[in-house]
Amino acid sequence: MNRTMWTSARLLGGALTFAVLLWRFGVRPFVDGLQLISAWSLLAASAITVLTTVCCAWRWSLVARNLGASVPLRAAIPAYYRSQFLNTTLPGGVLGDVHRGLRHGVEVGDVGRGLRAVAWERSAGQVVQLAVAIVLLILLPSPVRSTVRSSVPAIAVIGLAGGLGVLLLIRALAQGGPSGWARMLRKLVTDLREGLLARRALPAIVIASAVVVAGHAATFVIAARTAGSTAPALQLLPLALLVLLATGIPLNIAGWGPREGAAAWAFGLAGLGAAQGVATAVGYGVMVLVANLPGAGVLIVDMLRRSVHDANPSRPWRPSARPCPDGAARG
């Protein structure tokens, strides 16, 4: 019942956002966002998505290997395309990642480890995106520049206090014996230490995540240009980062809803016109969907392979990633 209520709330949140935008601006910005899309913009978005998908797959491969659930890069790339396509077509925007984690967990014989690898990989990307956004929102002119600057000390204090509190809680529970909470926290610390903060993995994870953020921001700027915006790229970049942060809000319909609302708010504050922001966000959503269509091809190939296997059960099913010994995975 709780899952059903949460799913309904996510769909309702996205629908309400669309309803408010339609009531305030009408259908014109949505139509413009669709009509102004050009072949070159779709091609550019697809080329950028190739780079960002490879970086995401590389990040996932690094984290999964360190957690003992190794996935080769050649298998991670199509799997990541598949998850991105599902994220852009299914409610909530995360079901593709859940599917990727479940499937990889089954393939390596440990569903929990497969899901944790995906969760940590995506969390690392979100943390880097937030850090890049804060830095650029401070350095570049934007409607929220003064607000972000004045909030940095408070954010730093809260972050330090929260980190210290977590460390004290982990230490207290770890000394409390073999309780469920203590085991969970020990596993959490182990995942962080070996999956994300490993000396050989952390720089690569940060670099890959930064490239992904840059690629998404560049795609948004292209969408703004396609929608008719003539604002300088340095003015559009902070707006792109604000919209990308809002895209992570789970109250959406396959990614739609908060993105368009945030774009209308950010463009309106910047004096570029809220309707222009809606048109840009709509164009961005369509460009991202088209750029991730290779994931649909991966799904079709998976279904065909499964049907062949079902028709000939004696033929062994070969998953995209094979389990490997824990020592080899961590080495």
pLDDT in tens, 19-48: 777 788 888 888 888 888 999 999 999 999
d(CA 10, CA 254): 10
Residue 327 lies in a domain: no
pLDDT 10s digits, 110-158: 999 999 999 999 999 999 999 999 889 888 887 777 666 666 677 667 7
Nearest to 280 by CA among 215, 200, 216, 224: 224
Domain-located, residue 282: yes
Domain-embedded: residue 180: no
Highest average pLDDT, of 177-181, 270-274, 306-310, 315-319, comes from 270-274
| Domain-located, residue 173 | no
User: Measuring CA to CA, which residue among 125, 108, 115, 47 is closest to residue 72?
Assistant: 108
Q: Provide the token pair at 173.
A: 């529970």
Does the residue 236 lie in any domain?
yes
State the CB neighbour count (10 A cutoff) for residue 176.
11
pTM (predicted TM-score):
0.83
Question: Helices marked H in the chain — which ranges?
Answer: 2-25, 28-35, 39-66, 73-89, 95-108, 111-139, 145-174, 180-191, 202-226, 233-247, 258-269, 274-291, 294-311, 326-330
Which structural domain, as residue segments, surrounds residue 280? 8-164+201-313
**In this structure, what DSSP letter does residue 315 have?**
S
Q: Is residue 75 part of a domain?
A: yes
Position 22 in a domain: yes
291 close to 42: Cβ distance less than 8 angstroms: yes
Classify residue 62 as left (phi > 0), alpha (psi -120 to 50) or beta.
Answer: alpha
Into how many domains does the chain fold?
A: 1
Residue 193 lies in a domain: no
For residue 320, what pLDDT band results from cuts at 50, 70 and 90? very low
